[in-house]
Amino acid sequence: IPSPLTPALEAEKKQKDSMRKKVKQQRLKERRSIDKQREASIEESNLKQQQQKLEALRFKNLSEREKRALAAERRILDAKESDEEKPVFSRCSQCQCNISGLVPFEYYNFRFCTPKCLKDHRLKSKTS
């Protein structure tokens, strides 16, 4: 039968237990952060794949003339050197950002860089 714990041994045991608990909590925290990073990277890759599929579908639905125009724009942009300012062929009707070489979102004769710009423009035009 072991002898009863002295106050010093009890304090030492409590300290060891608290250290074990801290180490365990730290490992759990690290594992959670790694899991969050993995989930974020998976979500990001899924989002990129969805955007690529959407872009491919939108490109597929373009007329032959629009496809040729986009190809010509890309060739001109590629021919320019990277240190020079690139020419702007078309701009977003809402935020006026450069959408040259991109497949724009369209309705009527308006072109937009993102669905958000398109939605904002529609809401703005409804209120006007």
Span 61-108, pLDDT tens digits: 889 998 898 888 888 777 775 656 667 778 899 998 888 878 888 888
User: Which is higher by pLDDT, 79 or 59?
Assistant: 59
Interatomic CA distance for residues 74 and 76, integer angstroms: 5
Residue 115 contacts residue 105 (beta carbons within 8 Å): yes
Tens digit of pLDDT for each residue in 6-49? 888 899 999 999 999 999 999 999 999 999 999 999 999 999 99
So what's the pLDDT on residue 46?
95
Residue ranges of the domains in the chain?
A: 7-61, 62-128
Could you tell me which residues are beta bridge partners of residue 111? 106
